[in-house]
Amino acid sequence: MRPKRAPEEEQQVSEPQEAGYDVVILGAGSGGYACALRASQLGLRVALVDAAELGGTCLHRGCIPTKALLHAAEVADEARQAARVGVQTTFDGVDGPGLLAYQQSVVDRLYQGLQGLVAAAGVDWLPGRGHLVAADTVAVRGEQGTQLVRGRHVVIATGSQVRTLDGVALGARIVSSDQALRLERVPTRALVLGGGVIGVEFASIWSSLGAQVTIVEALDSLLPAEDPAISKGLVRALKKRGISVRTGARVASAHEDDDAAHLVLEDGTTLDGDLLLVAVGRGPVTADLGLAEAGVELDEAGFVRTDERLQTTAPGVYAVGDVVRGLQLAHRGFRHGIVVAERIAGLDPAPVPEENIPRVTYCDPQVASVGLTEPAAREQFGDEIDTVEQSLAGNGKSQILGTSGMVKMVRRRGGPIVGVHLLGARMGEQIGEAQMLVNWEAYPQDVAPLVHAHPTQNESLGEAALALAGTPLHSHN
């Protein structure tokens, strides 16, 4: 349960602990709880501080609830398209409260399990809002007053929060992703402002559940951090599904009334919908934590400045996850937390290179990637690269699933594979092998002899490696 805060005038401040902790962690999301569990495993005394639920945004307002909705959307698509495979069924609509109940049941089971893990690890859970009063002291304000907690090391793991744009105020019909996860009905006409991961996933969900969806993105492509071939393929696939995509479209303003939400573009066009989702990214939660006073520097956007070891500018203070500029991914924060715990314990874990962290967007079709895009590889290696695009058209399992897409591999000429980029239904499940190929610097000719089970979409990775090694079998010269 979310703890209630006591009024400030009723707060009593305790004396700081004499013994203190080895590690005090502010934030109990993916990075924070991973740091806590690993530090405890290494014999350190740990306090975990958060005013919200254990599990953070990922478990309660991000990864898990959105993927539950995406699974429901996949079920709706299967029901609607069952005749394609000779199965007679109908899609009669969406039970909004039932959908939310299913989503919450998944969250609740994971939440209960995580609470058990933290308790079993001997981590001290301190519910309340943490604030640094010194580099080694955190004031935790909770129901019973304010407690001062000392730690040899402090870890900032407070995560991120939704952002909006100037001139776009949230309301009843103009909503954030947090609000969208609690809707009890599917919008009839949905506008999605932002073509990044969050925007594309919600567009996919609502389209599958019966909405007319328009995505509006200021840049020239959706998922602009992905390889251009993948981004273009995704736009084609979404349009084929009936989703309208407007790229290069800048917003002037937005407003709502009792009947609709209205999005005004700089070219004078007005788009109307019964709901407007603002999905323009997330900002770090670093305000009002006492960071500057403790010597922790922030950049111009509010992210914590760290070195490659995730050490901040204050001795003994680290930062992990979404408060550190870079990919805002739960598994990045999770790894950050483990790395920091090991460093505090005196180990020497390898740093976490951003480009080698796997990325998945769980829309339909899915986008998954790891390593360098073709433009990034050309910037680093010039023309000394080779690429291959392996269509899923010849992949047996992809034909069974009725999906199109591709596997794109990038290698340094005469060297290892430096990037793998995937587009297609369920292709996120293939990112495990892909990240091993990139992180272990595999050569295409190393991968070519490996046997990939048939029929699986996993075969498409083997086929791409064969092609990149110069021995393609299922492609035309």
426-442 residue pLDDT tens: 999 999 999 999 999 99
Helix (H) or strand (E) holding 65: helix 63-80
Task: Check the CA dihedral 319-293-49-343 and report its sign.
Answer: positive
Q: Mean pLDDT across the stretch 107-119?
A: 97
Question: What b/e sequence results for 91-123 when a residue is b if at least 16 CB atoms lie within 10 Å of its CB, and e otherwise?
Answer: beebeeeebbeebbeebeeebeebeeebeebeb
| pLDDT at residue 125, rounded to an integer | 96
Residue 477: pLDDT above 70? no
Residue 1: pLDDT above 80? no
371-428 residue pLDDT tens: 999 999 999 999 999 999 999 999 999 999 999 999 999 999 999 999 999 999 999 9
Q: How confident is the model at residue 4 (pLDDT cuts 50, 70, 90)?
A: very low
Q: What residues contact residue 171 under an 8 Å CB cut-off, 6+ apart?
A: 256
| pLDDT at residue 36, rounded to an integer | 98
Residue type, 143: E
In terms of pTM, does the model score above 0.85?
yes
79-102 residue pLDDT tens: 999 999 999 999 999 999 999 999
Residue by residue, DSSP assigns 411-448 as EETTS-EEEEEEEETTGGGGHHHHHHHHHTT--HHHHT
319-376 residue pLDDT tens: 999 999 999 999 999 999 999 999 999 999 998 789 899 999 999 999 999 999 999 9
Q: Six-digit token pair at 192?
A: 């999605």
Is the bond leading into 455 cis (omega within 30 degrees of zero)? yes
Name the β-bridge partners of 245.
215
| pLDDT at residue 169, rounded to an integer | 94
The percentage of residues in the chain with a pLDDT greater than 90, rounded to a whole number, is: 91
Domains of the chain: 8-60+100-161+283-355 (3.50.50.60), 174-280 (3.50.50.60), 365-468 (3.30.390.30)
Q: List, in sequence order, every beta strand (DSSP E) within 313-429.
A: 317-319, 359-361, 366-371, 385-391, 406-412, 417-424
| pLDDT at residue 5, rounded to an integer | 38
| pLDDT at residue 475, rounded to an integer | 62
Classify 195 as helix, strand or coil: coil
The percentage of residues in the chain with a pLDDT greater than 70, rounded to a whole number, is: 95
| pLDDT at residue 15, rounded to an integer | 55
Give yes or no for a contact between 319 and 297, defined as CB atoms under 8 angstroms apart.
no
Residue 132: pLDDT above 50? yes
Q: How does the average pLDDT of the chain come out, rounded?
A: 93
> Would you please indicate which residues are annotated as catalytic (active-site) residues?
454
Residue 452: pLDDT above 60? yes
